[in-house]
Amino acid sequence: MKKLLNDPANLVAESLRGVARAHPELRIDHENRILYRADAPVSGKVGLLSGGGSGHEPAHAGFIGPGMLDAVCAGEVFTSPVPDQMAEATKNIDGGAGVLHLVWNYTGDVMNFDMAAELAAAETDTQVEAVVMNDDVAVEDSLFTAGRRGTGAAIAVEKIVGAAADQGRGLSELADLARRVNDASRSMGMALTSCTVPAKGSPTFDLPDDEIEIGIGIHGEPGRRRVPLASAHDIAEMLVDPILADRDFTGGEGVFVFVNGMGATPQLELYLMYNEIAALLDKAGIVPVRTLVGPYVTSLDMAGCLVSITRLDDDMLRLWDAPVATSALRWGM
């Protein structure tokens, strides 16, 4: 294993200290491993909280700021934060309008966010709602989830709902919007290589040089099947076909297409993949009106990509275009 480390046991804590130095616009509670936008809580605004295991950077901390999240809880690598973290963050971002938990569908995250909501309600009068994001079409159940996994759709959900929260929309309306965006989204990923968790020191799974894994999750979970290494054109079909088979993406205002790098795939290859994906969508009569290409939801040093497609209505499109100022996404400001 070759990584930029001091001690694997201190990786998350030391990384958070680096985030604090690089991004003074954030406020970081190092003891509880919570990252806040500097002006949280914002009076009269619904607070938005997400989080999960580390190792997916820039998710989740890269999406804190005006137009997106108010706070994020950071767990150890690929490990859910604990309920006490989440409850503390929930209380600290309540500006009087309640708090919405945006939860990626992994068993530990769902259970701990549920417990955190109960803790926060018992200790304060904070009103909490939760939306679970479950967009992955690869598998119905996995090592980490009951039901479909939460993957790339979180970017669309957190951006669109974040913009709506900044407009002053209420808690119930935001929760409904988050469910609507999640329901409009489908995703599918693949791996060229495994990732290596620093504490383990070896690849999570064995993948021969002449094979690829189709339908992986963002923690290196196995997918639908293992197949021989194929061309980018064929891989794009393996990812897009199941997405289009699972939902109708025609109509509306077009679609948002997110081609995500898993951590070790060059941007050069990701744009090549987008070209193949766009050609398949053209053939299917589906119109991409917004795109995002790059490593935003990674799995440490895994090579591969994930495709996420969201069918937009006019409200979602306007909210996607609204100003945002985070370390990972920034426009209109």
Give the CATH number of the domain where residue 209 resides.
3.30.1180.20
pLDDT at 141: 64
118 conformational bin, left if phi > 0, alpha if psi -120 to 50, beta if neither: alpha
pTM given for the model: 0.96
- In contact, 148 and 134? CB cutoff 8 Å: yes
Among candidate residues 137, 157, 184, the one where a domain is terminated: 184
Q: What mean pLDDT is predicted for residues 311-324? A: 98
Number of domains, the chain: 2
pLDDT at 295: 98
Predicted confidence band of residue 308 (pLDDT cuts 50, 70, 90):
very high
Q: Which of 23, 60, 101, 219 is catalytic?
A: 219
Among this protein's residues, is 30 annotated catalytic?
Answer: no
- In contact, 112 and 83? CB cutoff 8 Å: yes
Q: What mean pLDDT is predicted for residues 107-114? A: 94
For residues 140 and 22, membership in a common domain is answered with: yes
Residues 6+ apart with CB under 8 A from 181: 153, 156, 157, 160, 161, 310, 316
In eight-state DSSP terms, residue 33 is T
Among this protein's residues, is 219 annotated catalytic?
Answer: yes
- In contact, 68 and 329? CB cutoff 8 Å: yes
One-letter amino acid of 190? M
Q: Kindly state the tokens that stand for 64.
A: 């804190």
What are the tens digits of pLDDT across the range 250-267? 988 999 999 999 999 999
Question: What is the secondary structure of 265-289 as a DSSP string?
Answer: --HHHHHHHHHHHHHHHHHTT--EE
Predicted confidence band of residue 1 (pLDDT cuts 50, 70, 90):
confident
Distance of CA 242 to the CA centre of its chain: 20
For residues 128 and 170, membership in a common domain is answered with: yes
For residues 201 and 301, membership in a common domain is answered with: yes
- In contact, 286 and 249? CB cutoff 8 Å: yes
Please name the residue that has the structure tokens 């806040």. 36
For residues 172 and 204, membership in a common domain is answered with: no
Structural domain includes residue 308: yes
What are the tens digits of pLDDT across the range 41-60? 999 999 999 999 999 999 99
For residues 162 and 19, membership in a common domain is answered with: yes
Distance of CA 290 to the CA centre of its chain: 17
The highest-confidence range among 194-198, 218-222, 235-239, by mean pLDDT, is: 235-239
Which helix or strand (DSSP H or E) is residue 111 part of?
A: helix 107-123
Residues 32-55 as b/e (b if ≥16 CB within 10 A, e otherwise) read: bbbbbbeebbbeebbbbbbbbbbb
Domain assignment of residue 99, given as a range: 15-184
For residues 49 and 194, membership in a common domain is answered with: no
Q: Which of 23, 30, 56, 233 is catalytic?
A: 56
Structural domain includes residue 2: no
